[in-house]
Each structure stands twice: as C-alpha cells, then as structure tokens.
Amino acid sequence: MSVNITFLVITGVLLACGFYLVLERTLTRVLLGIMLLGNGVNLLILTTGGRRGVAPLFQSGLDPEEYSDPLPQALILTAIVITFAVTAFLLAMIYRSWTLTSADELADDTEDIKVSQKTAYDEEEDSPVAEDTTEFVDEEGRPVREGEE
C-alpha cells in the first residue's frame, strides 16, 4: 500500500495542535481543539484508503484495481456526522456555561477542593468520646444510664 506522506504530516500537525488545544482551560479553545482532532482523524482514515482511483461506482469492464477504496469514505462520512453533532452540543454547552458564569473557563470542582483541604483530623473518629452515649431516654427526653431508674 502506498501512503501519501503529505497527508500523514498534515494529520500529525492537526492532531498535535488539537491535543494541545484540548489541554487548555478556555472552553472555546477546547472546542477548536476537538474540531482539529476530528479533522485530523478523518484525514488519517482517508490515507488508509491507499492510492487514488476511480470513483467506486460499478462500471462494467473496469479492473477492480482501478477503483479507490470506498470503505474509508463511508467511515469518514459517519465520523463527520458524529463530530458535527458533538461540536454542536459542546457549543451549546459552552454558551450555557458562559451565560451562567460569564466566564469562558472551566471552574474547579468545589467538592474536590474541600476534600483536598481536609486535615488528617477527623471530627467523627478522632474526637474524644463523650462518656454518656446511651440512646435510652426517659419521659422528659433525658438520657437514662445503667443502674438508674
């Protein structure tokens, strides 16, 4: 199978830029990165089809070797549609995020921060145990200890 080296280089550049942008915190850049990734992969699939050929529509008398491989094209078509849907969804989500927080940045998880700031001291487990831990109460709600009436 012959491979088009230009395509491969472009694929590499697109994927590298895409992954770099995805690592950003700014959501629009992440979106751009995802679009680049999608295009990069589509190009990669296209190169797997091998050399150029005649459109894969049956013509009598034509050698099968002459056709180009239709499968990668079908795969790309599916992949494009999926990327399109995901991009549209992300765009809507970014807009929503911008409306809610008026920032284009991904915020930290508040619960994560709480957990990371916790000290080794655990109130429930390390605090001194109160002497009176009975669950039995008398009529007025006072705890009843052993030996008392």
Contact residues for another protein, defined by CB under 8 A: 1, 15, 18-19, 22, 27, 30, 34, 37-38, 41, 44-45, 47-48, 71-72, 75, 78-79, 82, 85-86, 89-90, 93-94, 96-97, 100-101, 106-107, 109, 111-112, 114-115, 118, 123-124, 135, 137-139, 141
Closest distance of CB 31 from another protein, Å? 9
Could you please report the per-residue DSSP string of 21-63? HHTSSBHHHHHHHHHHHHHHHHHHHHHHT-S--B-SS--TT--
CB–CB of 45/75 below 8 Å?
yes
- Our CB check for another protein shows the closer of 128 and 141 to be 141
- Beta carbons of 1 and 23 less than 8 angstroms apart: no
Q: Which is nearer to another protein, 123 or 131 (CB)?
A: 123
In the complex, least distance from residue 55 CB atom to another protein, rounded to whole angstroms: 19
Sign, CA dihedral 140-146-148-149, equals positive
